[in-house]
Structure 1
């Protein structure tokens, strides 16, 4: 399905195949295979929720583009782009989305703000999320290789009620982080308050 997708909207200056090769070169094979599965799930969700499939494909392919970059690369990009200095207190789990979007923009030439915002939000969510952001947030969470208690429930929910599935994911992620007794990024708490609280 994804192999036959042709980019026509000039969002990315090249073909899907060229973008795939650039992403592949930036990642380990394990991470790259995850990216391809996320793209497949994102296109299925996009089809369900009337989101542009080309946008979904580009967003999914690039969402983890910066995942395996060094800490110093992220810290330098935070300074270079004059991003919120509090970001320096976090780590890769936050950086590869929030800061990684800047690398996607600078290195891959993707300037579409909906795509960049979806990448920024794919691990922390956001108080306001476009349908594209919701699609990526969920596709990353429920791609076919994921296996955790409740996966069948939330996969079904994502195709029945996308916003509710965002709330489900955020609540379960927050519970997991609390159980692990790790620091919780403030943006994740804001996402929880916006999407998970009745």
Structure 2
């Protein structure tokens, strides 16, 4: 299903609609996702394909993102997501994957939807794409090397560090923080505590 032919088709399509900078990022996320999948005993072709499609709707006008998102989610998305392209584009990408490439696997689509916002409960592929988006080789921000080290050692710890990085950045920039980010971060800590992998605090 996640064949080389499909991946090449997606690359060709994305190259024609994304800026060179965004396309380079997408290739980086796909590469990082494949590497994380191999480390975490997950299907590398599925992860790579999700990495390619995660930003498929990133550079569309907000109105187009909203229309695409409604096709897959109706009115279920929070207004804070629907009015912010930075949060919405993953949900819009779900419709691109479904309608253009006939990809209907719910786990796959969830990874696209939640790659920026995260979710209270995330499967392995969701975590892989969430983390790959932070650590791909073209990223250059304070703390990225630490995130890469965590990702190489423990995917759950890298997810938590990703939430922390986003929250810290938004605080430094005096920007609004999507409440779901805090909720999802707390859920990640609780899930890790249940696994005995995070100290109570």
Give the structure-1-normalised TM-score: 0.87
Q: CA deviation at 1:13?
A: 10
Q: How many residues align?
A: 189
CA-based RMSD: 2.0
Please show how residues 65-144 of structure 1 align to structure 2 within 5 Å.
Answer: 65-81=56-72, 82-84=74-76, 86-87=78-79, 89-144=82-137
Which deviates more from structure 2 when the two are superposed, residues 161-170 or residues 181-190?
181-190
What stretches of structure 2 of length at least 5 have no aligned partner?
A: 191-200
Q: Which runs of 4+ in 1 moved over 6 A?
A: none
Secondary structure of the residue that 1:99 maps to in structure 2?
helix
- Is the Cα contact below 8 Å between 2:90 and 2:116 reproduced in 1? yes
Change (3 A) 1:54 1:182: same
Aligned equivalent of 2:141: 148
Give the structure-2-normalised TM-score: 0.85
Change (3 A) 1:173 1:17: same
Aligned equivalent of 2:196: none
Q: Spell out, residue by residue over 1:127-170, the C-alpha distance to the aligned partner (whole angstroms, 9 max, x if none).
A: 11111111111111001111122221110110111101100110
Change (3 A) 1:28 1:14: same
Aligned equivalent of 1:193: 186
